[in-house]
Amino acid sequence: MNRLLVTGAAGGLGRALRHRLAPLAQTLRLADIAPIHDPAPHEEVVTCDLADRAAVDAMVAGCDGILHLGGISVEAAFDPILQANILGLYNLYEAARRHGQPRILFASSNHTIGFYKQTERLGPDVPTRPDSLYGVSKVFGEALARMYFDKFGQETALVRIGSATPEPENHRMLGSWFSQDDFLSLIGAVFRVQTLGCPVIWGASANTGGWWDNSHLDWLGWTPQDNAEAFRAKIDARQPRPAADAAVAVYQGGVFTQYPIYQEERA
């Protein structure tokens, strides 16, 4: 494609993936509210608050695809979530509608379904069970994307990312881990496939201890290659197994199920 917009480009995943996204587009438009450093010749930098409608419109103009990583990525007080993940999503989809409906990969989260137990296996159509205001905002994003698909044909991959870290860091991540290589190959498949629609995709590696079923995605041509099980011995050696009744061992969303409702933004 000509130009791929990457929102949240200054964040953890944006920084980890940025240089490896270059083959996907002639130009990467990197956007964030936070500074983005050292743009390469094929990179454009845009400073944009997702809550600023006019700025989002300008950010989306001229893009052929959007990797939407931007927003609040953990539990927080409602106001910042409202601005970035709810108002921000509306602004993004309205801008996309005005600018030729570029395909979108929406970084949704396992926290849309975090109250399911780790003993359960989930397909793409289970009712959502968000574990936090953050999870609720991702459910909103998925619903908004689905409405823009049904009403206007706007295509979006609703990628419910598990835990996208370089390595699985704890026992819960033996189920939820999503390697950066597998995420990268998924991004490639989403932007390459002829017809995408608006599928729910579990953003997880091929973990032996995984909880999520992606067998509805045969048509996508994407097969995750990594497996958190390869790190089990390392995790066992580094930390004790959590108690069987601890939230991190019971719920797919782990500790997010235990957070209070924050009244102000955490530092």
Is 118 a binding residue for ligand 15L by CB under 6 A? The answer is no
Residues 186 and 199: beta-carbon distance below 8 Å: no
Instruction: Please choose, out of 25-33, 52-60, 108-116, 123-131, the segment that lies near ligand 15L by the rule CB under 6 A.
Output: 108-116
Cα distance between residue 162 and residue 189, in whole Å: 18
Q: Which of 68, 111, 129, 171 binds ligand 15L (CB under 6 A)?
A: 111
Interface with ligand NAI: number of residues (CB under 6 A): 26
Closer of 110 and 154 to ligand 15L (Cβ): 110
Cα distance between residue 176 and residue 170, in whole Å: 10
Interface pattern 64-83 for ligand 15L (x via CB under 6 A): ---------xx---------
For the bound state, the minimum distance from the C-beta of residue 90 to ligand 15L, rounded and expressed in Å, comes to 20
**Residue matched to tokens 């980890």:** 16
What DSSP string runs through the chain? --EEEEETTTSHHHHHHGGGGGGG-SEEEEEESS------TTEEEEE--TT-HHHHHHHHTT-SEEEE--S--S---HHHHIIIIIIHHHHHHHHHHHTT--EEEEEEEGGGSTTSBTT--B-TTSPP---SHHHHHHHHHHHHHHHHHHHH---EEEEEE-B--SS--SSTHHHHB--HHHHHHHHHHHHHSS---S-EEEE----TT--B--GGGGGG-------GGGGHHHHHHHSPPPPTTSHHHHBTTGGGGG----SS---
For the bound state, the minimum distance from the C-beta of residue 197 to ligand NAI, rounded and expressed in Å, comes to 21
For the bound state, the minimum distance from the C-beta of residue 215 to ligand 15L, rounded and expressed in Å, comes to 22
Point out the catalytic residue in the list 93, 116, 134, 251.
134
Q: Which of 27, 163, 179, 227 binds ligand 15L (CB under 6 A)?
A: 163
For the bound state, the minimum distance from the C-beta of residue 222 to ligand 15L, rounded and expressed in Å, comes to 20
- 148 as an active site residue: the answer is no
Is 137 a binding residue for ligand NAI by CB under 6 A? The answer is no
Is 137 a binding residue for ligand 15L by CB under 6 A? The answer is no
Phi, psi (5° rounding) for residue 145?
-60, -40
Interface pattern 21-50 for ligand NAI (x via CB under 6 A): -----------xxx-------------xxx
Question: What does 11 interact with, of ligand 15L, ligand NAI, none (CB < 5 to 8 A by kind)?
Answer: ligand NAI
| Position 75, amino acid | E
For the bound state, the minimum distance from the C-beta of residue 162 to ligand 15L, rounded and expressed in Å, comes to 6
How many residues can be counted in the chain?
267
Is 89 a binding residue for ligand NAI by CB under 6 A? The answer is no
Residue ranges binding ligand NAI (CB under 6 A) = 8, 10-14, 32-34, 48-51, 69-73, 83-84, 88, 107, 109, 161, 163-164
- What are the catalytic residues? 134
Residues that bind ligand 15L (CB under 6 A): 73-74, 109-111, 163, 176
